[in-house]
Structures are given as C-alpha cells and as structure tokens.
C-alpha cells in the first residue's frame, strides 16, 4: 500500500497582531486584528469526540466545499469570508456568534431517526407524524436547533426555549429561521443538479452590529448528510440502507465497534486501511457535490509551511 499523507493534526502559528487562538474539534481559529483566520485541519470528530487519527485531505475538502457554497448563497445572506488564500484556509470577518446552531432536516435520518426509533414524536418542539421509516422524507423541512457546547455534547433545544432563555431575540430568531429555510432550499437545488439529495444540514450565524452574517462552513460532509438520488425510492421501498455521502458511516463504524462517546468507552483503533477509506469518501463527496475534480495538494510539500506563508501573504505580513 502506498504511503499515505499523514494529514494535518494541529497548527501552532503566531502571527503579527494575533490576540487569540481557539482550537475547535476540526478547525484552528486565529484572531488577528479584526479578522479570523480559520485553518481546516484533517482532524475528524464524531459523537463530539476528536478521533485519534487525522484524515488526509479532509480539511481541504471541507474548506473548498464551504467556499463554493458560501459563494453560491451570498445573494441570500451575507457571509463572513474575506479571502481563501490556501486550500485549507479561510480568512473572514470577526463577528459575535449566536449560541445556537440552526439544524434543518428534510428527512428522518441520523439523530432524528434514532430519537424517533426510541419512541419520541416531538423533536425540538416539532411534532413528527406516526408511521415514518428511517430515511423517509418529512412532510416539510423541520428546524431542530441545538445549543453550541464549547465542551461535551450539543443539546437539542426548541424555538420556545431559545426565546424563553433569551439566547436569541425573537426578531433575530425569525431572520435565522428565514435564512435557514432559504439556504436549505438553495442547497437542495444545488445537490439535485448533481444527482444528490441534501438530507439535513446545519448553519451557524453571527452578528456584526445589527447585521446577521452566515459564518463557518456550509453544505460540507461534516455539517450535512447527502443521499444519492438515483435508487432512493427503491431502496426505501425495499427497506434497504440508503447510499449516502456523509460522516454517518464513520459514526456507524464507531457504534459497531462499541463507541458512542459515552463515559468509559474507548475509541476503537483506526488502522491505515480505514483512514484511507474515510479519506476516499471525503474526496468522493467533493467531486460528487461540486462536479469538479479534486486536486490533491502535493504530498512532498511541507503543508504547515505552505499554509503559514499563504496566510501571512494574505494578511500583508
């Protein structure tokens, strides 16, 4: 088996004007003057746990898909992007993030399907009809927000609870809902053009002054779930698993190996073959969703040096 690129596990840069560094599950975010420099590493998380192995090219896939869809949705809502100086980097405006993630679902899949199977018929205040099967299309798309946890698990929360706790004002929340439905409609259309179904996704927003801005990533395999449209109806009818492009296959592999992020559970060992298969799936999604060929950055290149040089050039350092 050919030697694999190791992947970027973390960065530790120090830029002129840097006032903060925040390490998320997947991204390293640097505050430099009034800008945010977001480096998409190759870390992968599932069940809110960062897994021990990096996935080669995953960061590049996420960053480049997000860049494409932020560009294709900026007529709906302004976004935070100022520059994309490197395949793994986005530089954007610093804003005050809302403390909720706007999850929207068009199908009963993933977390929603697990909740439904456990007998729940209400999700984040949304009633769910009886008689649904996993991966069935919902009567209408549902917004099922979650709180943004800095540590541990994000929690489901209803619109009513968000307003009651004053997490978001009613005026702002109405705009977040409006943007979420419009972005999902656009994402659904763009996916359809590539023979895919956008099953569910999440959006994050922030504010600069009184203006709401779309931030972070959108329509990537980390924030979204996609099914192949061809054969969807037949697979549902036969009770077969849907052919999908998302991180769900990683979650299922972990579940099958006895891990769901619960206390006392140990992350199963990820061998080279599994890591390679995850990398291949991310690249497949990039090519499928964008309709473009994925160009791997050179394995010989010192990736960290390249990223630092491109950031400094963009910042004018």
Q: Does pLDDT of 4 surpass 60?
A: no
Phi and psi angles of residue 100, each rounded to the nearest 5 degrees, phi first: -135, 150
Handedness of CA 75, 205, 217, 242 (dihedral sign): negative
Mean pLDDT on 95-120: 96
Domain residues for the domain of 266 are 18-95+253-315
- In this prediction, residue 196 has a pLDDT band, given cuts at 50, 70 and 90, of very high
Average pLDDT, rounded, for the chain: 93
- In this prediction, residue 180 has a pLDDT band, given cuts at 50, 70 and 90, of very high
Same domain, 81 and 128: no
Which residue, 26, 47, 48, is CA-closest to 217? 26
Position 1 scores a pLDDT of 31
Is residue 2 assigned to a domain?
A: no
Task: Output the domain CATH number for residue 287.
Answer: 3.30.200.20
Q: Residue 293 is encoded by which pair of tokens? A: 């060929």
Rounded to 5°, the CA angle 47-51-56 comes to 125
Q: What is the pLDDT of residues 231-250, one digit of tens each?
A: 999 999 999 999 887 787 89
- In this prediction, residue 3 has a pLDDT band, given cuts at 50, 70 and 90, of very low
Mean pLDDT on 5-27: 92
Same domain, 71 and 26: yes
Position 74 scores a pLDDT of 97
Same domain, 171 and 217: yes
Position 251 scores a pLDDT of 87
> At which of 245, 265, 291 does a domain end?
245
Q: What percent of the chain has pLDDT over 90?
A: 83
Same domain, 125 and 229: yes
Same domain, 146 and 237: yes
Predicted TM-score (pTM) of this structure: 0.89
Is residue 149 assigned to a domain?
A: yes
Q: Residue 18 is encoded by which pair of tokens? A: 């840097």
Query: Which range is least confidently modeled, 2-6, 13-17, 129-133?
Result: 2-6
Same domain, 170 and 209: yes
Same domain, 123 and 241: yes
> At which of 245, 264, 288 does a domain end?
245
Mean pLDDT on 116-142: 96
Same domain, 75 and 101: no
- In this prediction, residue 304 has a pLDDT band, given cuts at 50, 70 and 90, of very high
> At which of 192, 221, 245 does a domain end?
245
Task: Output the domain CATH number for residue 117.
Answer: 3.30.470.20
Place of tokens 């990533």: 217
Given a contact cutoff of 8 angstroms between Cβ atoms, the answer to whether 53 and 249 are in contact is no
Given a contact cutoff of 8 angstroms between Cβ atoms, the answer to whether 60 and 218 are in contact is no
């Amino acid at each position: 088996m050919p030697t694999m690129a190791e992947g970027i596990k973390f960065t530790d840069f120090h830029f002129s004007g840097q006032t903060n560094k925040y390490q998320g599950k997947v991204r390293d975010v640097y505050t430099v003057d009034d800008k945010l420099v977001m480096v998409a590493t190759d870390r992968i998380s599932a069940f809110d746990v960062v897994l021990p192995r990096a996935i080669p090219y995953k960061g590049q896939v996420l960053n480049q898909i997000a860049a494409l869809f932020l560009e294709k949705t900026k007529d709906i809502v302004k976004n935070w992007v100022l520059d994309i100086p490197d395949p793994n980097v986005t530089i954007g405006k610093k804003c005050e993030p809302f403390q909720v993630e706007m999850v929207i679902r068009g199908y009963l899949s993933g977390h929603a399907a697990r909740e439904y199977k456990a007998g729940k018929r209400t999700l984040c205040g949304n009633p769910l009809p009886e008689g649904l099967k996993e991966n069935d299309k919902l009567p209408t798309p549902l917004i099922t927000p979650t709180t943004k946890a800095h540590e541990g698990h994000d929690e489901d929360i209803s619109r009513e609870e968000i307003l009651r706790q004053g997490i978001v004002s009613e005026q702002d929340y109405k705009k977040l809902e409006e943007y979420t439905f419009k972005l999902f409609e656009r994402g659904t259309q763009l996916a359809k053009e590539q023979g895919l179904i956008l099953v569910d996704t999440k959006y994050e927003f922030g504010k600069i002054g009184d203006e709401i801005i779309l931030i972070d990533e959108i329509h990537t395999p980390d924030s979204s779930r996609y099914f192949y449209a061809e054969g969807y109806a037949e697979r549902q009818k036969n009770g077969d698993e849907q052919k999908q492009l998302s991180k769900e296959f990683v979650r299922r592999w972990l579940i099958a190996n006895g891990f769901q992020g619960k206390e006392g559970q140990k992350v199963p060992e990820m061998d080279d073959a599994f890591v390679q298969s995850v990398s291949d799936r991310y690249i497949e999604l990039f090519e499928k969703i964008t309709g473009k060929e994925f160009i791997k950055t050179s394995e010989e290149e010192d990736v960290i040096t390249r990223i630092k040089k491109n950031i400094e050039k963009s910042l004018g350092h």
